Amino acid sequence: MKRSKLLLANLEAFYKFIGTSNIGNRRHQCNIIQARLFSRSLAAQEKLSLDRDTVYNRYEEVKQFARSDPESFWAQMAREKLKWRKDFTRVNECNLSKGEVSWFSDGQLNVSENCLDRHPREDIALIWEKDEPNQHEQVAYGELLDMTCQIAQTLLSLGVKPKDRVVIYLPTSPIAVATMLACARIGAMHCVVFAGFSASALAQRINDSGAKVVVTADKSPRGGKMIELQKIVTEALNQTATVEKVLLWQRTESKTLSGNLVDLMKESDRMPKYMEPEAFSAEDPLFMLYTSGSTGKPKGLVHTNGGYLTYTSWTHEVIFNCSKGDIYACVADVGWITGHSYLVYGPLANGVTSVLFESTPVYPDPGRYWEMVERLKINQFYAAPTAIRSLLKKGDSYPNKYDLKSLRVLGSVGEPINTEAWHWYNEVIGRSRCKIVDTWWQTETGGILISPQPSTPGSEVIPTMAMRPLPGIEPALIDPVTKEVIPKGRAADGDLCVTKPWPSMARTIWQDHERFKDTYITKEHGFYLTGDEAHQTEEGYFRITGRMDDVINISGHRLGTSEVEDAINLHPQVSESAVVGSPHAIKGEGIHAFVILKDGCEETESQLITEINSFIKKDIASFAQPEAFYFVPVLPKTRSGKIMRRILKKLSVGITDDLGDVSTLAEPSAVENIVKLIEKRK
């Protein structure tokens, strides 16, 4: 108590320091201080011109406040950021070691009301940058509210009830956003499936979630090509039993529909334009989203209303230094967590204009992003390193053609950003006057946990480092061998954990809480285990170095080795396979597949590769196709039968002499055979 008072006094000093008078009571004052501290525009920061020491201490101050009194910190944040229908009295009721996470549980709110009704009707909510070049459409907050209410009532008319699952298989578009918010308005859970996933992958997600309704489009144009969404859905429905109705958005042409198909536009047009938002508990589910782990089928991570929206809106504001009037573009697909937290929920809760990008970075040419930045006057731009790397290879002439002076913050997400890409982003795109934010987070964390924070005046950025945790986030590294916590202030590598719960943490894996606990909670300490490895510096900065498990990260898309192996094994001539991630210049990682064929297989290698690839495309998606295949007689395994991926990873990059400890190999010839194969290819 004493300590917290002291900190409040420090904040008061800070408040005076930044030159604002009219101080109210301390609690309220602290509230304002935090809001100001995290929301200052870059211009204001520059005027302050603070030395680094003060700045660092300032961040420390807020961090210390959040550490010593997390309940007050998060409660203030939740009240500051959101409109609550019923205020909460309970803040943090988590027991992390038991996998129990609960925030603001007796509070009530409606997420769609927070993202729509609160903002002036005429403000622009979305700019839809369609696949077709040079075409964009603006959607005002009022229009988006109308669309949302109409779709919400359409869903109700189909019998969708609170907590029912609605699968959304749509291109990144205002309809996709309105459908997500429509689910939120009526308390249904949306489950967006990336519209690049195959019919089998879609069917698997429909079956696991038990969805009643699927919302899709006839076709989705992408890079000038048409993806036949409706056909894929029809194929998926042959493998599912729970879906009662399919709401179809006729994106490219209009036909009369029959059977279980309902015309989304026609039905929703008939509905009233307004529907009261119902209040739901902060801990009621908002959505589920599937992601891959190293073993088993993809898992449906469940996120809830209050904590998720508090954290995503706050971090969106402070990390992107984004406020009303800004034009913010996150070029991720709505089907990934980035598309949920930083395309839809964070930006719309903050009332800014969010750009929806339906196309690809190279259509019609590699200047697409930069032409768009100039035309739409984008202030914050958020993309994946893989896109940056692919554009970097095309040279500077494309970005140099365009006026990029509207840009202030450039974000990176999904995988480690390499030094060359970081500098190109900073110098060629940012013209060395933008803030670069390398943001680290996961589907499970709901929002960004570690990132440079340009809103903190003068905050430092070191290329390729995700830098510091947000205040209130308590990361720690665990020694992979001793399992001991590595002390702060010591430069070291380790497994990245978070020791305290935070509001936007996933609550569970859909219908498998045991798996949630087993996967994410460390037995030794009861910490949240991220699955990533990281390096910490003496100053407390973090660099994310890669995964500690068998998850492969291809162009920022997460895939489990077992998913890819299962798809390869579908080929009738394959007896066994093992895949590993191997460094790739553009994609970050590419897949290398080691395959054992059945006896008597007479097909040629190139025939087999084409066929196996089509199995992968059908079972998962085309981005999951391997870069290289090795047809081998045996796989390197331990005597207990575990595939030694460590060895395969080394072999995949052509290392054949320094393979580390191979003493546990059951059959040394397994390695010798692959080595011979690689030598032959060299």
Residues forming the site for ligand WT7 (CB under 6 A):
291, 336-338, 413-416, 438-443, 466, 530-532, 544, 547, 553, 556, 558
Let me know the angle formed at the C-alpha of 374 by 370 and 380, rounded to the nearest 5 degrees: 75
Q: Rounded to the nearest whole angstrom, what is the least distance from the CB of residue 415 to ligand WT7 in the complex?
A: 5
Cis before 366? omega within 30: no
Q: Rounded to the nearest whole angstrom, what is the least distance from the CB of residue 320 to ligand WT7 in the complex?
A: 14
Give the span between the Cα atoms of 262 and 272, in whole angstroms.
18
Give the span between the Cα atoms of 196 and 174, in whole angstroms.
18
**Rounded alpha-carbon distances, angstroms, from residue 632 to 467, 594, 596, 636, 677:** 43, 7, 5, 10, 8
Q: Rounded to the nearest whole angstrom, what is the least distance from the CB of residue 318 to ligand WT7 in the complex?
A: 16
Question: 143 or 532, CB closer to ligand WT7?
Answer: 532
Q: Are 263 and 248 within 8 A, CB to CB?
A: yes
Q: Rounded to the nearest whole angstrom, what is the least distance from the CB of residue 369 to ligand WT7 in the complex?
A: 18
Q: Are 229 and 264 within 8 A, CB to CB?
A: no
255 SS3 class: coil
Q: Rounded to the nearest whole angstrom, what is the least distance from the CB of residue 416 to ligand WT7 in the complex?
A: 4
Question: 262 or 392, CB closer to ligand WT7?
Answer: 392
Question: 466 or 651, CB closer to ligand WT7?
Answer: 466
Question: 88 or 441, CB closer to ligand WT7?
Answer: 441
Q: Rounded to the nearest whole angstrom, what is the least distance from the CB of residue 362 to ligand WT7 in the complex?
A: 21
Residue nearest to ligand WT7 (CB): 443
CB half-sphere exposure, 270, CA atoms < 13 A: 8
Q: Rounded to the nearest whole angstrom, what is the least distance from the CB of residue 457 to ligand WT7 in the complex?
A: 23
Question: 275 or 466, CB closer to ligand WT7?
Answer: 466
List the structure tokens of 417. 């950003």
- Count other Cβ atoms within 10 Å, centred on residue 193: 24
The helix or strand, by DSSP H or E, that contains position 317, with its residue range, turns out to be: helix 305-319
Q: Rounded to the nearest whole angstrom, what is the least distance from the CB of residue 542 to ligand WT7 in the complex?
A: 9
Give the span between the Cα atoms of 347 and 328, in whole angstroms.
8
**Rg of the Cα trace of the chain?**
25
Q: Rounded to the nearest whole angstrom, what is the least distance from the CB of residue 545 to ligand WT7 in the complex?
A: 8
Q: Rounded to the nearest whole angstrom, what is the least distance from the CB of residue 287 to ligand WT7 in the complex?
A: 14
23 SS3 class: coil
Question: 334 or 544, CB closer to ligand WT7?
Answer: 544
Question: 216 or 338, CB closer to ligand WT7?
Answer: 338
- Which residues make Cβ contacts (< 8 Å) with residue 210, sequence separation at least 6? 165, 242
Question: 73 or 336, CB closer to ligand WT7?
Answer: 336
Question: 306 or 446, CB closer to ligand WT7?
Answer: 446
Question: 554 or 670, CB closer to ligand WT7?
Answer: 554
Q: Rounded to the nearest whole angstrom, what is the least distance from the CB of residue 475 to ligand WT7 in the complex?
A: 13
Question: 361 or 367, CB closer to ligand WT7?
Answer: 361
Question: 351 or 560, CB closer to ligand WT7?
Answer: 560
- Count other Cβ atoms within 10 Å, centred on residue 285: 22
List the structure tokens of 279. 């209040």
Q: Rounded to the nearest whole angstrom, what is the least distance from the CB of residue 359 to ligand WT7 in the complex?
A: 19
Q: How far is CA 294 from the centre of its chain?
A: 18
Give the span between the Cα atoms of 336 and 533, in whole angstroms.
22
Q: Are 109 and 282 within 8 A, CB to CB?
A: yes
List the structure tokens of 657. 């002499």
List the structure tokens of 532. 């990533």
Q: Rounded to the nearest whole angstrom, what is the least distance from the CB of residue 338 to ligand WT7 in the complex?
A: 5
Question: 351 or 416, CB closer to ligand WT7?
Answer: 416
Calculate the dihedral angle through the C-alpha atoms of 584, 196, 315, 353, rounding to the nearest 10 degrees: 120
Q: Which of 301, 285, 293 is nearest to 513 (CA)?
A: 301
Q: Rounded to the nearest whole angstrom, what is the least distance from the CB of residue 241 to ligand WT7 in the complex?
A: 29
Give the span between the Cα atoms of 239 and 204, in whole angstroms.
8
Question: 92 or 412, CB closer to ligand WT7?
Answer: 412
DSSP output for 133-201: TT-EEEEEHHHHHHHHHHHHHHHHHTT--TT-EEEEE--SSHHHHHHHHHHHHHTPEEEE--TTS-HHH
Burial 471-502 (b: 16+ CB within 10 A, else e): bbbbbbbbeeeeeebbeeeeeeebbbbbbbbb
